[in-house]
Amino acid sequence: MKNLREKQGKNRDTQMLSWAARMLYIGALVALIVLIGIQQSCNSSKPFSGTYINSAGSEFSLANDTLVLEQVEGNQYRIHRMTGYRLISDSGRLGSYRWEKEEWFAVYDPEREIMSEKRHGKQISFTADCSVMTVGRRAYQKIN
């Protein structure tokens, strides 16, 4: 009788252990699915908004470009472009500082992963982490 009770107790312990292992396995699977879902949602809504800068120079001028991207709605973005430049004279002297402002509108195509600016037809692309934006052949570094 005592052996029978011990066997039944061991069977119950084994069943409980098996049940706990199943629950732990199911919990780990659910956590993995949730983490994958969070990662996918982060990747689908890229953080384009921010300020990007570029500096350029030649024998004729020095220029600093600043682009500020802001999301308007959905995949539509407004881009504020501010360019400051100094012309270099024939004698090599820097001229006075001048600046220009423009406002662009662009639409992001998630399938092609390219933003298209409407007025000038510029194609805008981003690195995977959105730290560098390329407009044509110019690369702009994200600063915030």
pLDDT tens-digit series, residues 34-55: 556 555 444 445 689 999 999 9
Q: What percent of the chain has pLDDT over 70?
A: 68
Contact 87, 60 (CB under 8 A): yes
Quick count: other Cβ atoms within 10 Å of Cβ 27? 10
Global confidence as pTM? 0.66
Which of the pair, 34 or 81, is modelled with greater confidence? 81
Q: Which residues contact 131 (CB under 8 A, 6 or more apart)?
A: 141, 142
65/83 Cα distance (integer angstroms): 4
**Distance, CA of 50 to CA of 7 (rounded, Å):** 68
Mean pLDDT of the chain: 83
3-state secondary structure of 34: helix
Contacts of 78 (CB under 8 A, 6+ apart): 69, 70, 72, 103, 104, 105
